[in-house]
Amino acid sequence: MVLTHTTNHTYSHPFPTVTLAFFLRYYSPQLNPFSSHVLSTDTISSHVDPETGRLHTTRVHLKKSRMPSAVMKLLPTSVTGGNGDKSSYVLETSVVDIKEGWMKTESRNMNFTGILSVVEQQHYSTTPSDQTASSNNSQPRSGTAGNSLASPISRPLSPNTFVTTTFSYHSSLGNKKPDRAALTAPDDGDDTASRRFGGWISGWGTRRIQSSIESIASNKADDQLVKSRDGMRIVLERLRNNGVVSVLRELRRREGKSVFEQ
């Protein structure tokens, strides 16, 4: 069973500015004070598809553990690894179509997946979600018969950007993996730990534990989403008030770099 949670939000900023803020939101706590939990960000790949003109980007963020404390307390230390400071990797993929005015992103945790898998999907658009489908069906497409060389229709830039966010939570804690168990025979120590953990799971009920973990994570996401939007709002306001170049120049100056360095 997968628990899902969907919300809608509107940024009072044009789409190009919002997409830029999305990529800058973890740049520095000086730019976004709500990003102090992000320890590092690395770009794995980034390219523009020559046929569609869409920007495809893959990044990995290293964050302080965002596993809800209630979940950590619910599970034995043999599963969580204790109460010490933890960090986790988050894989982020994104596709931006600046001409059509949309961006799709997906983020998923790479650690603790045996306890809880969290997938965040976002769709940014210049039109509200309830109008996007009808708009796509009614607008002419380039490359249709008799108009194969037609250029995209010029449309005024919308002052707002609409985003739909969907969280998916899935816990597989306690699920059996018979194939793996058949191929690997654990030693006595591992077998004892496995029996203890299995007994703990059985006592509570596997599905009950999984549902509790998913529910706790879903409730926690509401607070995290508010902070995420507050961080985006701060970045957007700074871009609006100071300009893109001025913001980047100031950030680079503090790092001792040139914004136009080669």
As a whole number of angstroms, the distance between CA 80 and CA 73 comes to: 9
Q: Does the pLDDT of residue 148 top 50, yes or no? A: no
Give rounded-to-5 percent helix, strand, coil for the chain.
40, 25, 35
For residue 213, the SS3 value is helix
Is residue 235 packed enough to be buried (19+ CB in 10 Å), middle (13-18) or exposed (0-12)?
buried
CA triplet 43, 119, 30: central angle to 5 degrees? Answer: 50
pLDDT tens per residue, range 102-145: 999 999 999 888 788 899 999 999 999 776 555 555 444 444 44
| pLDDT of res. 64 | 87
Q: Does the pLDDT of residue 255 top 50, yes or no? A: yes
| pLDDT of res. 82 | 58
Q: Does the pLDDT of residue 25 top 60, yes or no? A: yes
As a whole number of angstroms, the distance between CA 250 and CA 255 comes to: 9
Residues sharing a CB contact under 8 Å with residue 75, sequence separation 6 or more, in sequence order:
115, 173
As a whole number of angstroms, the distance between CA 125 and CA 248 comes to: 25
pLDDT tens per residue, range 178-236: 454 444 444 454 455 445 445 545 545 677 777 877 777 777 777 888 999 999 999 99
Count of H helices and E strands in the chain? 8, 7
As a whole number of angstroms, the distance between CA 91 and CA 71 comes to: 22
pTM of the model: 0.75
Q: How many CB atoms lie within 10 A of CB 52?
A: 12
Residues 122, 124, 128, 129, CA torsion sign: negative
User: What are the CB-based long-range contacts (under 8 Å, 24+) for 106-112?
Assistant: 107/61, 109/66, 110/60, 111/65, 111/87, 112/65, 112/67, 112/88
> Rg for the chain (alpha carbons), in Å?
23
